[in-house]
Copies of this chain bind each other. A is one copy, B any other.
Amino acid sequence: MKSYQEMTREELLAEQKALKAAYKKREQSGLKLDMSRGKPSQEQLDLSMDMMVVLGNNDLKCEDGTDCRNYGVLDGIWEAKVLLGDMIECYPDNIIIYGNSSLNVMYDTISRSMSHGVMGSTPWCKLDRVKWLCPVPGYDRHFTITEYFGIEMINVPMLPTGPDMDLVEKLVSEDEAIKGIWCVPKYSNPQGITYSDETVRRFARLKPAARDFRIYWDNAYGVHHLYDIDQDNLVEILAECKGAGNPDMVYKFCSTSKITFPGSGIAALATSLNNLEEIKKQMRVATIGHDKVNQLRHVCFFKDIYGMTEHMRKHADILRPKFEMILDTFDRELSELGVGNWIRPKGGYFICFEAMEGCAKAIVAMAKGAGLVLTPAGAPFPYGKDPKDSVIRIAPTYPSLEDLTMAMDIFIICVKLVSINKLLREMQ
């Protein structure tokens, strides 16, 4: 098969005509599909329905006798710290269990740094400029937080091994205004890349000019494998930072949002004891404690990390066919055409399609015309601006396999058509 770049104008025009006809048919079919967000499907949510009754015969007491129904226990019940500690490979002592949203914990962490600084540093709101490194493509909600606080975001390209560490090292060592970096280190959003061992080690050895620089390590997909053996491994950053003499440089975030119920899970932050002490000083002011009953509910539902592993296998069984169908479709339909690139992730919630430069917005718009709503082009970039207009985030989890197949049919047509349109424009 020829790539589009190798085709003559006449060949492209013929292909364009066929694709236009195919698109028109899809357009008229009245399909309505939303693939814009990384939401679990109903089938996945059904896996956790026992959560609703698991505390039925429980006296709601912790092993240490704490009554989970009453006030108290600022930083989470011990059993939940053990469970989430096993999940993210940290000691329970290094963990705080929060409410339902790790995003909210990240927001709070930046908000506190704005108003109170970090371990005695000048509150960021008193500084003229605060900057942040943003590996791109990345998670739109991260960028929205830093934008909300008026923090200047600097793009750092993602490589197959994670963020471009040459650039990260250079920037943080030179510029004291750079106070943090957003990372989704495992099965990253949206590319599904897991940071290489070298990348993590270089992160742990950073020499930031700002002593209040922190790595925001959002381990959102730590146990979200698609396969049982063929899994990515991520070097544990807290231990690595400690070993590198930078024990306080990282905050590690996680939650059970995509394990049990989004919005009704539990979130956690893991970091050094020094950082924890500072954070608890604020927590004591901001709340009496988080929902311990829900923490206990999670512990009773999973029992231990093995229970969670078993549970994640069930998620994987639901998600694997969806991911494979999409990736196989890309391979079959697009690999020889030279119209885009993608990575085959082994876990996470997304597939990232990198179209030809200048095509992403047009593809998303065209898909919408045929009833397929995708994540807006540009969303995976700070300020919503994809400099190359090429990245499209595909969220395969929510629709049924059948709907997804129809969606991919439309998507492929749109990719091909927009790419041909571009090539034809360039020939003029």
Contact = CB atoms under 8 A, between A and B. Distances in A.
Given A56-B53, A69-B45, A70-B45, A264 B286 contact: no
Interface residues of A, number: 53
A126 B114 CA distance: 12
A58 B69 contact: no
A262 B99 contact: no
In the complex, the count of this chain's copies comes to: 2
A272 interface: no
A261 B377 CA distance: 44
Nearest to A148: B285
Contacts of A70: 39-40, 45, 261-263
Given A37-B71, A71-B262, A111-B115, 15 more contacts: A39-B70, A45-B69, A45-B70, A52-B53, A52-B293, A68-B261, A70-B261, A70-B263, A104-B286, A104-B287, A114-B115, A145-B285, A261-B293, A263-B292, A264-B294
A125 B123 CA distance: 10
A317 B287 CA distance: 29
A42 interface: yes
A60 interface: yes
Interface string A257-296: 1000111100000000000000000101111111111100
24 contacts: A45-B67, A53-B55, A53-B56, A56-B56, A69-B263, A70-B261, A70-B262, A71-B262, A71-B263, A99-B99, A100-B290, A101-B289, A103-B286, A103-B287, A103-B288, A104-B286, A114-B115, A141-B288, A144-B285, A261-B293, A263-B289, A263-B292, A263-B293, A264-B293
Contacts of A284: 144
Contacts of A257: 71
A107 B283 CA distance: 10
A107 B285 contact: yes
A343 B263 CA distance: 43
Contact of A286 (B58, B107, B290, B292): B107
Q: Which of A70, A141, A144 has the most CB of B within 10 A?
A: A70
A149 interface: yes
A59 to B, nearest CB: 9
Interface in A41-75: 42, 45, 48, 52-53, 55-56, 58, 60, 67-72
Contacts of A287: 101, 103-104, 107
A141 B71 CA distance: 14
Contact of A291 (B45, B58, B111, B294): B294
Nearest to A297: B52
A149 B288 contact: no
A262 B67 CA distance: 11
